[in-house]
Amino acid sequence: MSDQLAIAISDLEEQQALKLVQARLDAGVDPLAIVNDCREGMDLVGKRYQSGEYFLSELIMAGEIFKQANALVSARFQLTAGPGRGTVVVGTVQGDIHDIGKDLVVSMLKSANYVVHDLGVDVPPEKFVETVKATGATVVGLSGLLTIGFGAMKDTVAALAVAGLRPAVKVMVGGGPVTDQVREYAGADAFGADAQAAVTLCNQWTGG
Amino acid sequence: MAEMTSRERLAAVIRCEKPDRVPICPSLDFFCARYKGVVLERFVNDGDLAREALMAVWDEFGGWDATYNGSGLNQFAFSLTLPMRLKVPGRELAHDALWQFDEQPVIEVDDYDFAIAHGFQALWGKLFPKVCPNYSPAQIPELMQAWQMQTVKDTLIWEAKDVISFTGVAIVPPLDFFSMGRSMKEFTFDLYRRPEKVLAAMEAIEPALIETAIGGQMGSRQMTKHGYLTNFIGATRGSATFISPKVFEKFHWPFIKRIALGLLDAGVTPLFHFDSDWTPFLEYFQDLPKGKCVLDLDGATDIFKAKKVLGGHMCLMGDVPPAMLTLGTADQVRAYVRRLCEEVGDGGGYILGSGCSVPVDAKAENVRAIIEAGKEYGAYH
């Protein structure tokens, strides 16, 4: 990887990365190329996380730099929202208000070029159903930090089935106490141990 | 081996020695309320009722070696340790809902300078109206006294029953304090944007944390027969789930170490109640004096690896995972407890515990299985 911007993002050099984005915009570089370089940097961040060099705090910081870089580009150009790699609905399940893990999943999926509908926290099953119907999403991510959320995960998967949507969507579950036992209980397709796992799962499912 | 008292048993394992049986000490709080039919709103507002629920479970499940939670929990007590808003049952939440942290920043960027200039007590006072907007600062002395009296009363009542109060006087290392108060996201940005300022603020609040712990422990010892066996040091956000070894070495470990040594100097046993995954950081704990501290893990750290790294050096505690207690079967719990006793308990230096608190919705037979299997498989021959 030789691109300076991608390197700055992957090294979490916030000021340097934003300066490069601004300079390239001023020089008339294609905004999509700029965003792609940012994505390349984020991709390397993900790889470093997987290899154990980076930890959660590096993912959070990288997500913040990516967000700011995107905002700079969007302020200048109306980026036509492409189809992305796929559409994902994400939320913290009913009864649970924790959002750190969920937010990180959203940010990692966005930087991996997914269209993400973030429903926030304490999301009732019917809200997931409505959003999947309205957006045609093919992946649903359910987050929860408390054991009391396990039942809500199960209810949400059941609600998707009742609505006839289950065959068309893959469901992934994650959060502090979530294990494969929880995935089985909830009737989900997969459980992810961290935010990077959410990206890996979506890539598998969407053939990306 | 001759039968030991619970106090002898716990003292032996803290020294990393082999007792007659693995001591047992699960952390039980909201589970007891749900199990005994006490609405959570009342459980967090009525200390006597909370203690009675804990004690009823103790009696019904046949007792164990020490009560992890001697007192109930309330919003004011939490605010003494964590600068974080709580959503409370009966107020923001339904009457029987589990309380939850509401992670909104209560510490602003400028508060690092404030902490550096004025120290912990002033910062705590400044944050209090944001953390507990339902109280007026004028009520603090009265709330403080009521909480202290409650904990003394609870300890005395447990002592009258000849039960050890395992831990009390909770503090968190500076990293957790600022991460919770700033919110994890903002705090993470601060680590990159103003690292030296963060470090200076952490150093500024550290002495008061140590003094608070020692003061609380000495007060408890004066007002009860034994006081608490250990001092609770809670940490999550500086684990390897969240931060890299580089950040850990600069922002977390030096503080943990100094706090532990400060407590040990005063004759207080540190209990590291360390949630999430500490596996990559286990070697650091070899740096602390041998046979003096307890490391309490929640199922996210590989406790079997911890035994390999710290066995014979630091007493380990844990770690029946919350999902197993909620969704698993009693047989699964028994099998896991057996493995814990045989592997982590090998040669002593181990306390059987739950990973963090037993979940509010744990199956009663699974909680009972911890106690019964611990007594059965924990015996040393």
Residue B286 burial by CB count (10 A; 0-12/13-18/19+): exposed, middle or buried? exposed
Partners of B98 on chain A (C-beta within 8 Å) are 146, 148
Q: Which domain holds residue A101?
A: 87-206
**Average pLDDT rounded to a whole number, residues A188-201:** 92
Which residues in chain A are closer than 8 Å to B323, comparing Cβ atoms?
A: 147, 150, 177-179, 181-182
A109 and A138 assigned to the same domain: yes
Query: Residue B119 above 70 pLDDT?
Result: yes
- The reply to whether residue B100 touches residue A146, judged by beta carbons under 8 angstroms, is yes
- A 10 A CB-CB count for B364 gives 15
Nearest CB neighbour to B359, from listed A58, A99, A147: A147
- Indicate whether A68 and A130 sit together in one domain: no
Q: For residues B350 and B293, what is the distance between their CA atoms, to the nearest angstrom?
A: 11
List Cα–Cα distances, B106 to A37, B1, B131, B208, B310, in angstroms. 36, 54, 7, 20, 37
Give the percent of chain B with pLDDT over 70: 100
Task: Report how far residue B51's alpha carbon sits from residue B38's, in angstroms, rounded to the nearest whole number.
Answer: 11
Cβ–Cβ of B324/A181 closer than 8 Å?
A: yes
Domain count, chain A: 2
Instruction: Kindly state whether B185 is in contact with chain A, defined as any CB-CB distance less than 8 angstroms.
Output: yes
> Is the separation of the CB atoms in A190 and A170 below 8 Å?
yes
pLDDT tier at A196 (50, 70, 90 boundaries)?
confident
pLDDT of residue B59: 97
Closest by CA position to A31, among listed A77, A64, A69: A77
CA B101 to CA B180: how far, in whole Å? 9
- Between CA B140 and CA B150 the distance in angstroms is 15
The single residue listed with the structure tokens 């507002």 is B45
Residues 221-260 of B with CB under 8 A from A: 240-244, 247
Mean pLDDT of B241-260: 96
A82 occurs within a structural domain = no
The mean pLDDT value for B341-362 works out to 96
The nearest alpha carbon in chain B to A148 belongs to B361
Q: Are residues A118 and A62 in the same domain?
A: no
| Tokens of residue B248, six digits | 């850990």
The Cα B250–Cα B352 span in angstroms is: 32
Instruction: Output the pLDDT for position A80.
Output: 60
Nearest to A57 among B242, B324, B361 (CB): B242
Per-residue pLDDT reduced to its tens digit, B62-104: 999 999 998 988 999 999 999 999 999 999 999 999 999 888 8
Q: Are A103 and A57 found together in one domain?
A: no
Pick the last residue of a domain from A31, A55, A76. A76
Mapped onto helix, strand or coil, the DSSP state of residue B201 is helix
State mean pLDDT over B153-171.
Answer: 96
Verify that A128 and A201 share a domain, yes or no: yes
* B90 and B47 Cβ atoms separated by less than 8 Å: no
CA distance B300 to B265: 31
**Mean pLDDT for chain A overall:** 91
Mean pLDDT of B256-268: 98
Looking up tokens 């009913």, which residue turns up?
A94
A69 with A116, same domain: the answer is no
Q: Name the residue among A97, A99, A177 with its Cβ closest to that of B322.
A: A177
Q: Measure B123 CA to nearest chain A CA, in Å.
A: 25
Residue type at position B137: P
B325 CA to chain A: closest CA distance, Å?
Answer: 9
The amino acid present at B15, given as its one-letter code, is: R
A191 strand-pairing partners? A173
Is the model's pLDDT at B210 over the cut of 80? yes
pLDDT in tens, B16-28: 999 999 999 999 9
Residues from chain A that touch B321, judged by Cβ atoms under 8 A, are 177, 179
Structure tokens at B182: 């700033």
In a shared domain, residues A30 and A95: no
Q: Do B100 and A182 touch (CB under 8 A)?
A: no
pLDDT at A208 over 60: no
Residue A1 has pLDDT above 60, yes or no: no
Say how many CB pairs under 8 Å bridge A and B.
81
- Do both A44 and A117 map to the same domain? no
- What is the CB neighbour count within 10 angstroms for residue A30? 10
Tell whether A92 and A186 lie within a shared domain: yes
B97 in contact with A, Cβ within 8 Å: yes
* Chain segment A112-146, per-residue pLDDT in tens: 889 999 999 999 999 999 999 999 999 999 999 88
Q: What is the pLDDT of residue B192?
A: 96
Q: Specify the pLDDT at position A107.
A: 87
In a domain, A81, yes or no: no
Which chain B residues contact residue A17 at CB under 8 A? none
Q: Averaged over B154-160, what is the pLDDT?
A: 96
Is A174 in contact with A140 (CB distance < 8 Å)?
Answer: no
- Are residues B344 and B379 in contact, defined by beta-carbon separation less than 8 angstroms? no
Length of chain B: 381
Structure tokens at B48: 């006597």
> For residues B101 and B253, which has the higher predicted lDDT (pLDDT)?
B253
Interface test with chain A among B180, B327, B358, B361, by most A beta carbons within 10 Å: B327
What average pLDDT does range A77-96 have in this prediction?
84
Classify residue A37: in a domain, yes or no.
yes
Report pLDDT for A139.
97
A198: tokens are: 């959410």
Segment A79-86 mean pLDDT: 73
What is the token pair recorded at A197? 């796992």
Q: Report whether pLDDT(B1) > 80.
A: no
| pLDDT at position A84 | 82
The last residue of one of the domains, among A19, A47, A76, is A76
Is pLDDT at A96 greater than 70 in this prediction?
Answer: yes
Judge whether residue B235 has pLDDT over 90: yes
Q: Give contacts of A59 with chain B, Cβ < 8 Å.
A: none
Phi, then psi, of B265 in degrees rounded to 5:
-60, -35
Instruction: State the CB neighbour count (10 A cutoff) for residue A147.
Output: 24
A70 and A93 together in one domain: no
Question: pLDDT value at position A79?
Answer: 64
Residues A110, A166 share a domain = yes
Q: What is the CATH number of the domain that holds A180?
A: 3.40.50.280
pLDDT tens track for A13-65: 999 999 999 999 999 999 889 999 999 999 999 899 889 899 989 999 999 99
Could you give the 3-state DSSP secondary structure of residue A194?
coil
Q: Please give the ipTM for the structure prediction.
A: 0.86
User: Which residues of chain B neighbour A150 with C-beta distances below 8 Å?
Assistant: 323, 326-327
Residue-wise pLDDT tens digits, B270-294: 999 999 999 999 999 999 999 999 9
Task: Say yes or no: B276 contacts chain A, CB-CB below 8 A.
Answer: yes
pTM of the model: 0.92
pLDDT value of residue B72: 86
User: What is the structure's pLDDT at B13?
Assistant: 98
A60/B97 touch (CB, cutoff 8 Å), yes or no? no
CATH number at residue A24: 1.10.1240.10
How far is it, in rounded angstroms, from Cα B196 to Cα B190? 10
User: Does the distance separating the beta carbons of B101 and A98 come in below 8 Å?
Assistant: yes
Chain A CB contacts of B300 under 8 Å are 176
CA separation for the pair B155, A145 (Å, rounded): 31
Answer with the one of A14, A43, A76 that is the final residue of a domain: A76
Beta-strand ranges (E) seen in chain A are 87-92, 115-118, 139-143, 170-174, 190-192
